[in-house]
Amino acid sequence: MRLTTFTDYGFRMLMRMASDPARAYSTAELAAEFGLSRTHLTKIMQRLAKAGYVETRRGSGGGAILAIPAAEIRLGAIIRLLEDGQPLVECLSADGGDCTIDGRCRLKSRLRSAERSFMADMDRSTLADIALTTASNLRAETGEH
């Protein structure tokens, strides 16, 4: 399976946000941290906000925070949101694509099955499972102060 950079960058942003969910993150800060385009991250953040995964705040102290706990955000749901309209292969698109061997192809059903298995596996994991580890997270996990 191959995900678009849109989804890859979306996961990076969400993983950072899940590492410290009480903190607001600006797209400028996230873009600088990951070496990515702020404009591109803004588009991703808007889609995540529209779907209710993040809440954005303007002004001083603004930025984005998770709108729901990371443990309640399934990875498969994020992929479905960010990959919307991006079929694995052309023939799996909603309109069936422009396939010259449609009706005789035995690959399509196998690809569909593989995609279902991949998404089922991703649905078993949450954003909390993949949150970035910070120094304070490590101390809390090991019981150090």
For residues 97-123, average pLDDT: 81
Q: pLDDT confidence of 87, banded at 50, 70, 90?
A: low
Average confidence (pLDDT) over 69-82: 96
Distance separating alpha carbons of residues 136 and 80, to the nearest angstrom: 32
Report whether pLDDT(136) > 60: no
Residue numbers of the domain that contains 73? 5-142
d(CA 72, CA 54): 13
Number of domains composing the chain: 1
List the beta bridge partners of residue 66.
54
The helices-and-strands tally (H runs, E runs) of the chain is: 7, 2
Query: Does position 45 have pLDDT exceeding 50, yes or no?
Result: yes
- CATH code, 113: 1.10.10.10
Angle at 6 between CA 70 and CA 69, to 5 degrees: 10
* Alpha carbon distance 50, 53 (integer Å): 8
At 84, the pLDDT band (50, 70, 90 cuts) reads confident
pTM of the model: 0.82
